[in-house]
Structure 1
Amino acid sequence: HTLAKRVRAVVGGRLDVLVANAGIAKAASIEDTTVDDFDDLFAVNVRAPFFLVQQLLPMLCKGSSVVLLSSLAARAAVGELAAYAATKGAVDTLVRHFASALGERSVRVNAVAPGVVATDMSSFATTDEGRDYTLSLQALKRVAQPDDIAGAVTFLASDNAGWITGDTLLVDGGSKL
C-alpha cells in the first residue's frame, strides 16, 4: 500500500507500465524449509505483486501493461527450491487471472520467466561448480545478464507486444529442453 501511494504521487492518474520485479529466493530441502521462510517467500513473491496491482488498478487504463517476474523454477525442478518454485507458479497463475480480469479494460498482463541470471540472487553461479551446473541446464552456454531479461520485459511492456496477454515468456537460454 505504501509503494502504491508513492507511485500515485509520482505519476499522477495514469500508469502505462508496471513491472513487479522484487523477489527473494531461499534454497532449502522440503524438510529444512521453515514456516517463516515459506511465508516470507509468498509475502514478497506473490502477495506483494498481487496487492500492488490491486492498489494501482485505478491508474491502469487502455494500453497499460503489467509485467510480473516468474522463474524457470515454476516449470522445472532445479535445485532445492520447492517453496520458491511454488511462489513463481503462483505468479504464472496470477498472470492468467489478471489478464482475464483486466482484458476488458485493454490492460495486458504477462510475465517473464528467467533462468539463472548473474545477480545477487544467483550468487551460486559465481563459483565454478555453480557455473558448470548452470551451463549444464542451458542450450545457450552462458550465464544470462540482467540486460537479457530487461530486453524481454521491455518488449512485453511495449506496443510491439500489443496482442500478447496472459502469457509467461521463458527467457532462460533454453534451460531444461
Structure 2
Amino acid sequence: MTHSASRFRDKVALITGGTSGMGLATARRLLVEGADVVITGRDRSRLDAAVEQLAGGERVLAVPGDAANLADLDALTAAIRGRYGRLDVLFANAGVASFAPLADVTESEFDRIAGTNFKGVYFTIQRTLPLLSDGAAIVVNASWTLHRGLPGSSVYAATKAAVHNLAHTLAAELGHRAIRVNSVSPGYITTPMFHDALSDEEQAAVVPNVVVGRLGTAEDVAAAVAFLASAESSYITGQDLVIDGGLVAAIPPSAG
C-alpha cells in the first residue's frame, strides 16, 4: 500500500505508547499522510526524542502519562480537547510484555501487565469517547498470542485476548455513531520491546516459523493500522487483522 499525503488530511489521531516501535511508526505514517498526531508515553525524555524524530512541528502534540492511570488519561483528554476539540483516530497501542511460567507469576506482575494492557486500553477508549467524532476509527493493538498458545505468555496473552474481545463488543456498542472498532494482532515484530524480550539467538530461532521468512517491522504494522483507520476500510468493523507473515495460519515449507 502506498502512502497518500492526503488520506488523513484534517484528521486528528491519538497514538498511545507512541515513543517507539509500532506506536512511533504509526504516528510517523499518519503524520506523513496528513494527520495531526497526539502521542503519549510515560518517559518525558523518550517522548521528547520521539517528537524530534517525527519533526512534525505544530502538527504533533506530546502528552506525558501512564495509560493505566486514570488521572493521566483525564489530563490527556483535556489536552486534546484544548488543542483540537475532537479525535478522528485512536490507536490504543500502549502495552507491556512479560513472560514467565504460570507458577512464577506474582500478583504484582499480573497487576502491572493487566493494568497497562487491558485496563489502560479500556479506559483510554472510555475517557476519549466524548472526543471521538461520529465515523471515527479505533484500532486496538492485540497480539498473535491470542490465536495460538505460547508457553510462558499466560498473562500477556490473556490481556491481548481481552482487548481483542473488547474491540468486538465496542464495534457493536458504538456502531450507531458509525465508529468502527478493530484490532491488529502483530506477530514477531522487531521493536525495542521485542529485543528486550528475546536474545539475538532467540530472535533468529523464531524466523523459520514465519512463512515469509523474516521478522516483521514496525512499519508493517503501521501500514495495517493506517488502512483500518482510513475510509478505505469503511465497511470493516469488529475484526482482527493478523500481521504475522503467516506465523499463525500457515506452516513454512521447511517445516512441512
Compute the TM-score of the two structures, normalised by the length of structure 1. Answer: 0.94
Deviation (angstroms), 1:59: 1.5
Q: Percent identity?
A: 37
State the number of aligned residues.
Answer: 175
**Counterpart in the other structure of 1:51:** 123
The partner residue of 1:169 within 216, 241, 253 is 241
Distance in 2, Cα, partners of 1:81 & 1:10: 39
Deviation (angstroms), 1:137: 2.4
The CA deviation string for residues 8-63 of structure 1, in whole angstroms up to 9 with x for no partner, is 22321x21101111110101000111111111111101111111111111122222
The partner residue of 1:138 within 179, 203, 210 is 210
Deviation (angstroms), 1:128: 2.2
Deviation (angstroms), 1:126: 5.2
Contact 1:97 1:166 in 2 (8 A): yes
**Counterpart in the other structure of 2:134:** 62
| Counterpart secondary structure, 2:174 | helix
Distance in 1, Cα, partners of 2:106 & 2:79: 33
Segments of structure 2 that go 5 or more residues without pairing to the other structure are 1-73, 251-256
Segments of structure 1 that go 5 or more residues without pairing to the other structure are none
Is 1:159 the equivalent of 2:246? no
Contact 1:116 1:172 in 2 (8 A): yes
| Counterpart secondary structure, 1:109 | strand
**Counterpart in the other structure of 1:103:** 175
The CA deviation string for residues 100-148 of structure 1, in whole angstroms up to 9 with x for no partner, is 000000000001100111111111455123222x213211110111000
How large is the Cα RMSD of the aligned pairs?
1.3
Distance in 2, Cα, partners of 1:119 & 1:162: 29
Deviation (angstroms), 1:166: 0.6
Is 1:8 the equivalent of 2:81? yes
Within 5 A, what are the aligned runs for 1:28-39? 28-39=100-111
Is 1:94 the equivalent of 2:166? yes
Within 5 A, what are the aligned runs for 1:116-131? 116-123=188-195, 124-125=197-198, 127-131=200-204
Which contiguous aligned blocks of 4+ residues in structure 1 show a shift greater than 6 angstroms? none
AA matched with 2:234: G
Compute the TM-score of the two structures, normalised by the length of structure 2. Answer: 0.66
Relative contact order, CA 8 A, sep 6+: which one is greater?
A: 1
Larger Rg: 2
